[in-house]
Structure 1
Amino acid sequence: MVAREELMHVLWPSVVVVDDSINQCVVEVRRALDDGGRQLLQTVPRRGLRLSADLAELPCWPVHTTSAPAAMAVDSLDQAWEALRSLAGVEAVADARRRFESEYMLGRRRVEALNGIALSHVIDVLNRWSASPQWQVGIAREASKEALRLSPRNALAHHARAHVAMLEGFHFEAWAGFRRAVELEPRLAHAHLRMAIIQLELGNAHSARPHIAQALACSRSPKLEAQAQFVRGMVDFHVGREQDSSTHFRAALELNPAAGLAHQWLAVIEALQGREELARQHLEAFGRLSGAHSCASLKATERSRNPVFWQQRTRFYEGLRRAGLPA
């Protein structure tokens, strides 16, 4: 039997977390163990948690490792970052997060591991993969805050913290964070792209284009280009250039076939132009890649309250409705 307070002290010794953090971890452990009947990991009311299973002691690396495990740790983090960059799907991001968490718990390259943990949660929320977006944003906030405490001039830590502010709807705080990130690391292409999205959400779609160009000037990786094409598509849609936006979304899919959100926007455009069968096909692809959604669930994830943004966004939701997405 382990008390919840003891678990929280061991798992998050220097971070204040909400009680729901343990609940979410328990859900994930039960899912991993296929413990739907709650026979292995048992909750004992007012006492704590108990693992009811045969246990065996296994050898593990100490925190101060030899050179061989240290080299393996570098490979592990490199593989984790590659998984995040690939945006190959929710399982790839979850695997990357486990690698980052393992390295953090072993005390190696902690700032880098914290940045990876934060951004893995951000990616889940941005791609509509998260079943508990508020919880994941909270974890990303804690991880990025701790990374900045350990390394105040770390560009990626500012980048991660700015993502959190953006997801929370604090656009100007996010803008300042991304600006600080590119001051410290001018070639941080994704920060430039996020600044373009902030301009869009503040109702300044035309001002987003220079930031997209800056992002592409910093990097020409296929995944970055796919994201840039996607943002271009959103910008063109918001200013009424639907044909151009369709071209950009298709280019995004050519560069990254797993880009579920590009299918979502193509479903909107096809529906608005009366091509119902194509709209249905894209909506089905969006569902396969990004999970089940409704118009209401998507609206709940919108961060902007800007009237210009919403005047432009209304047509997007009309297209989703025509494509067949439930209200």
Structure 2
Amino acid sequence: MSDPMTVSRRLVAVFAADVEGYSRLMGADEVGTLKGLTERRTILDRFIGEHGGRIANTAGDSVLAEFGSVVDAVECAVKAESALAKLNASIELDRRINYRIGVHVGDVMVRAGDLFGDGVNIAARLEGLAEPGGICISASAHEHVHGKVAVGFSDLGEHRLKNIVRPIRAFAVTPSNRSPAAPKSAVVPAPPLSILVLPFESMGGDAVPGHFADGLTESLTTDLLLIQGISVIARNTAFTFKGKAVDVKQVGRELSVRYVVEGSVQRGGSRLRLNVQLIEADTGKHIWAERFDKPVADLFDMQDEIVSRLANSLRYQLVAAEARRSEHALNPTSMDLYFQGWAHLNYRTTPDAVLKARECFERALVIDSRNIEALVGKASVHTIIGASIMGSDSTSHFAAAEAALTDALNRSPQHAIAHLSLGGLYIQTGRPIQGIAECEHALTLDRNLANAHALIGQAKGRLGRPEETEAHILEALRISPRDTYAFWWMFWAGSAKLTLEEFSTAASWFRRTIEENRNYAGSHVGLASALVQLGATEEAKAAMREALKLDPNSTITALQAKLPPVSAALQARRERYLESLRIAGMPEG
């Protein structure tokens, strides 16, 4: 007989389950809960046995089991939750007995049949991240089951789990055969880009006027409503939470929102500090945070600036968060693909990323031809390709972009981003006056569109007024200093200074552009030209080598086909520009 104190180790799939709200249920009805728990344990134990699992530890409402196969463990969890959900369907919500299940692959210690160690702890913590009736697995488990089990996965990001040293990446499991017709009593799934702005809190320190914190909340709520595709909970509902301790997960379920914004305002002497966080409601995970630290001047002017910056930051953070959610879906929806497309455009500008974005938008439109957001995204891709050296046939790309934007605006005449995109297209196709008009109209629809200010600056350069460009770029950067597209704006400022032959300032702008985003070949090309004309030829050649790595198709001939026409007075400058690129090493074509 083996020594009961002997400890062995093995690598297994650990399956941890417990009942959500067990103490509450027992407090309300001990006899009924115990009877229901016994009934459900019979079901759970049966599925564990059928899938080759071994129950190791049990205590009260919890079950710990080991499986030799991760696929078996996840399939067991999915089938068990499905069976338990049917049992719950006819029971009132507050009386339901919901199991949460966590699955992890790890090394465990075994003693007298019981399991111990980090592998067990991680599975138990993952179970705590799962929704009632849901399943959460680790990244190590996901690697084994992705594509082998008929379920979808939602990336929940990395989490710091109690008593676990390293962060653990988690995935929520979504059965692919879940019925679209949920019971009437079930919680309605939160729509994408649904958000609640909680009342900003006035913290300790010098007094902050209460109306300032409330004004921030109200203004941000209003400005987020201007962003197409975002569903925002009304201010009257938001202010019912003022001064209260808020359980973000509970609020998310009750109001059917996917994200919550919370913040605080603190004044110290002549400075004002604002902290703001974006939280994923279903997990409670903080996915973005920002701090504003500014001198107190006119509080209301400051409020406008802070709200504009927040709205711009949230615009990109929400799209990025939704793209991460949808990345692992087995059957992505049209909106899933839309978010993925913009994620490619927002954070990378390599030719490969642009083409991936186009593929996402086109697939989104195949699934749902009415998806205006995807239509505008597709138009943006065509404009980018047409305006860059990577597009050999600019005319067809620009025509496709204009057709898509015309279609989008016929269906949604007040679509601010569609007007903004049309403005950018007009500027690229030699119609800068019309482009400025479209950008100005976009700003009347959404005053926080920093890119509209930058595009107006680019248009001024195309109109032969490059001396006016920089002021518009600086306004865009004031509104959204960390904008995803800031590198474009800096590039346009550098190009205007290059046209003015202010080479030192041009080089400074191009260097800032490259610091923001090293993946755009045009920034390296602009820097190479400025450096040649400053006499730094070797450094210019190094910049050109970087440009050619990013876009091997960059040639003088291709560039000439993209450059807008210039007046006779500026033609000599154009020739000096092209000659500087030859000196830096750009091939003729």
Q: TM-score, normalised by structure 1?
A: 0.73
Aligned counterparts, 1:1-327, within 5 A = 66=180, 72-73=332-333, 74-107=335-368, 110-221=371-482, 223-327=484-588
Aligned with 1:300: secondary structure? helix
Code of the residue aligned with 2:484 in structure 1: it is K
Distance 1:309 1:107 in 2: 47
Q: CA deviation at 1:109?
A: 5.4
Distance 2:430 2:552 in 1: 23
Contact 1:223–1:256 (CA under 8 A) maintained in structure 2: no
Q: CA deviation at 1:79?
A: 2.1
Aligned with 1:79: secondary structure? helix
Deviations along 1:228-279, whole A, 9 cap, x unmatched? 3222212222223211211121111111111211110121122223333222
Distance 2:354 2:557 in 1: 26
Residues 180/304 of structure 1: CA separation in 2 closer, same or farther (3 Å cut) = farther
Larger Rg: 2
Distance 2:454 2:383 in 1: 15
Segments of structure 1 that go 5 or more residues without pairing to the other structure are 1-64
Aligned with 2:485: secondary structure? helix
Contact 2:344–2:353 (CA under 8 A) maintained in structure 1: yes
Contact 2:503–2:533 (CA under 8 A) maintained in structure 1: no
Contact 2:460–2:466 (CA under 8 A) maintained in structure 1: yes
Distance 2:570 2:479 in 1: 28
Q: CA deviation at 1:76?
A: 2.7
Larger strand percent: 2
Deviations along 1:91-120, whole A, 9 cap, x unmatched? 112111122112222226521111000001
Code of the residue aligned with 2:446 in structure 1: it is E
Distance 1:176 1:307 in 2: 26
Hey, what does 1:20 align to over in structure 2? none
Residues 137/176 of structure 1: CA separation in 2 closer, same or farther (3 Å cut) = same
Distance 2:355 2:395 in 1: 17
Deviations along 1:44-65, whole A, 9 cap, x unmatched? xxxxxxxxxxxxxxxxxxxxx9
Deviations along 1:277-326, whole A, 9 cap, x unmatched? 22222112112212323323212212233345545433322211222334
Contact 1:103–1:113 (CA under 8 A) maintained in structure 2: yes
Distance 2:463 2:378 in 1: 28
Distance 1:109 1:270 in 2: 48
Distance 2:424 2:564 in 1: 12
Aligned with 2:562: secondary structure? coil
Distance 2:538 2:566 in 1: 33
Hey, what does 1:50 align to over in structure 2? none
Residues 127/300 of structure 1: CA separation in 2 closer, same or farther (3 Å cut) = closer
Aligned with 2:484: secondary structure? helix
Residues 312/178 of structure 1: CA separation in 2 closer, same or farther (3 Å cut) = farther
Contact 1:121–1:140 (CA under 8 A) maintained in structure 2: yes
Residues 81/309 of structure 1: CA separation in 2 closer, same or farther (3 Å cut) = farther
Code of the residue aligned with 1:86 in structure 2: it is Y
Deviations along 1:112-132, whole A, 9 cap, x unmatched? 111000001112233322122
Segments of structure 2 that go 5 or more residues without pairing to the other structure are 1-178, 182-188, 193-331
Distance 2:559 2:429 in 1: 15
Residues 178/310 of structure 1: CA separation in 2 closer, same or farther (3 Å cut) = farther
Which region of structure 1 is more displaced relative to structure 2, 253-262 or 305-314?
Answer: 305-314
Q: After the TM superposition, list the runs of 4 or more consecutive aligned residues in structure 1 that deviate by more than 4 angstroms.
A: 65-68
Distance 1:86 1:204 in 2: 31
Distance 1:81 1:173 in 2: 26
Q: CA deviation at 1:146?
A: 0.6
Contact 1:89–1:258 (CA under 8 A) maintained in structure 2: yes
Residues 270/238 of structure 1: CA separation in 2 closer, same or farther (3 Å cut) = same
Code of the residue aligned with 1:294 in structure 2: it is T
Contact 1:117–1:143 (CA under 8 A) maintained in structure 2: yes
Which region of structure 1 is more displaced relative to structure 2, 80-89 or 253-262?
Answer: 80-89
Aligned with 1:169: secondary structure? coil
Say what the alpha-carbon RMSD is for the aligned residues.
2.3
Distance 1:205 1:283 in 2: 24
Distance 1:83 1:283 in 2: 25
Report percent identity of matched pairs: 25
Code of the residue aligned with 1:245 in structure 2: it is A
Contact 1:201–1:306 (CA under 8 A) maintained in structure 2: no
Code of the residue aligned with 1:93 in structure 2: it is V
